Amino acid sequence: MLEMALNNLHWKVLFDQFDPDNTGYISTEKFRSLLQRHGSELDPHKLEVLLALADSNSEGRICYQDFVNLMSNKRSNSFRQAILQGNRRLCSKALLEETGLSLSQRLIRHVAYETLPREIDRKWYYDSYTCCPPPWFMITITIVEVAFFLYNGVVLDRFVLQVSHPLYLKNALLYHPQLRAQAWRYLTYIFMHAGIEHLGLNVVLQLLVGVPLEMVHGAARISFVYFAGVVAGSLAVSVADMRAPVVGSSGGVYALVSAHLANIVMNWSGMKCQFKLLRMAVALICMSFEFGRAVWLRFHPSAYPPCPHPSFMAHLGGVMVGITLGVIILRNYEQRLQDQTLWWIFLSIYVIFVLFAIFWNIFAYSLLDLKLPPPP
């Protein structure tokens, strides 16, 4: 631990020499100069790869955390693979041009181009990915959601528009405004869906988008974005649509999909995935269709007045999480979020919103003298 701290301090001193204004970035030219000056401290093979990395950085600058990762060899698998494959220079040949790949290697390459905008990151990911652990989170959460839906379908003897069944609201998992003190409902409502069409669209989106994202960014980051969207969705309903219940995993799904789409738009020139415009259009059409279904259902006459149908505000809460926290998490591939200023800003905004919504739920309902539907 002490040796690691000393190494980091050493690299910090070197970085600051080339960053006198303390911007947190140095140009690739300065990085090359630093490598040449201190090349004797590095393995010759590693120095060659680092110089290639500097040449291939399309952004023209390197942030401090990237610098530390490179110099401390945290991505040793990538460097080792680059050396074993004939000291290939990462800037000379795009990963997309590699030939003779197996089916699994082509799949990993496809996922890299679907989710990462920089060629360096794609090659690091391609070289180091081992499918251990597999993308278990999105697969598990999907299986559980489908299992609960099938169970409710058998119990209610209904699979289409289950939400119109008189016993639907009696389930202990969905969010109901009269039962908002039961805190678990702000999360467990994702296991209840309005019907097969609601479940189907959510499952398709979270598998097509969520599984590749989890393969690249890991279960910890993806589950954080997913559940942050889920909580934001139910809290958004409790603030903006106070009389309505909430069901479905749309808050989490929309957080992942909107974060992914926002990253594609922000890095449009760097994203080399095939048919990216078509893929974006399909995702937006599916999201719009599902959101339109939710809006229609919300304002459709309820089957159990005076309680309205489930709210659509959870979708918007998920989108807001996706284009703030989600964008930062997906953009900073393999970087420590603790060192990212924008991460702390958006996380603080999210925490403030959660605290505001909690106090709103405690005091606003009584102060506004709102007439709520009776408990189920």
Bond before 133 cis per omega within 30 degrees: yes
Side chain identity at 244, as an amino acid letter? A
**8 CB-near residues (< 8 Å, 6+ apart):** 68, 72
Distance CA 373, CA 376 (A): 9
Bond before 306 cis per omega within 30 degrees: yes
* Helix (H), strand (E), coil (C) string for 198-265: HHHHHHHHHHHHHHHHHHHHHHHHHHHHHHHHHHHHHHHHHHHCCCCCECCCHHHHHHHHHHHHHHHH
Is the Cβ–Cβ distance between 182 and 245 less than 8 Å? Answer: no
Is the Cβ–Cβ distance between 242 and 175 less than 8 Å? Answer: no
Distance CA 122, CA 118 (A): 6
- Tell me whether residue 128 is one of the annotated catalytic residues: no
Helix (H, G, I), strand (E, B) or coil at 84: helix
Distance CA 139, CA 202 (A): 13
Distance CA 294, CA 315 (A): 9
CA dihedral 311, 139, 78, 127 (to 10 degrees): -120
- Tell me whether residue 102 is one of the annotated catalytic residues: no
Q: Give the active site residue among 165, 193, 217, 315.
A: 315
Q: Give the active site residue among 238, 250, 258, 311.
A: 250
φ and ψ at residue 20, rounded to 5 degrees: -65, -25
Write the CA distances from 161 to 156, 165, 204, 320, integer angstroms.
11, 8, 18, 27
Is the Cβ–Cβ distance between 206 and 254 less than 8 Å? Answer: no
Residues identified as active-site:
250, 315
